[in-house]
Amino acid sequence: MLHVNVKTKEAKFTVPVPYVLLNIGISILTSKVLIRHANKWSKPHLDKKKISFIIPSIDKTELKRIIKELKKHKGLELINVKAQDGTEVIVRL
């Protein structure tokens, strides 16, 4: 399970994210339909800025292998960010 800890001056909370939700998110984000629509929606804005960029398709099986490997390293701290205003975000496996 992925644990996201957020600390601010006013509040402190933890959001647990099960690996099942990560796998569902990977399936949604790597779907060809979503990538095709994202490219279509971003095209007018990119054309105005004269930028040529296409969101590449992502291999779902590779991402799922990465998640499977990360499950073996419980307690690993992936992100630890502290802002100047005292806000902290920590992401752990």
Structure tokens, 93:
């496996």
Task: Provide the β-strand partners of residue 91.
Answer: 4, 79
Quick: pLDDT tens for 9-26.
899 999 999 989 988 988
Q: 8 in helix, strand or coil?
A: coil
> pLDDT tier at 63 (50, 70, 90 boundaries)?
confident
* pTM score of the predicted model: 0.66
Question: What pLDDT, on a 0 to 100 scale, did the predictor assign at position 66?
Answer: 87
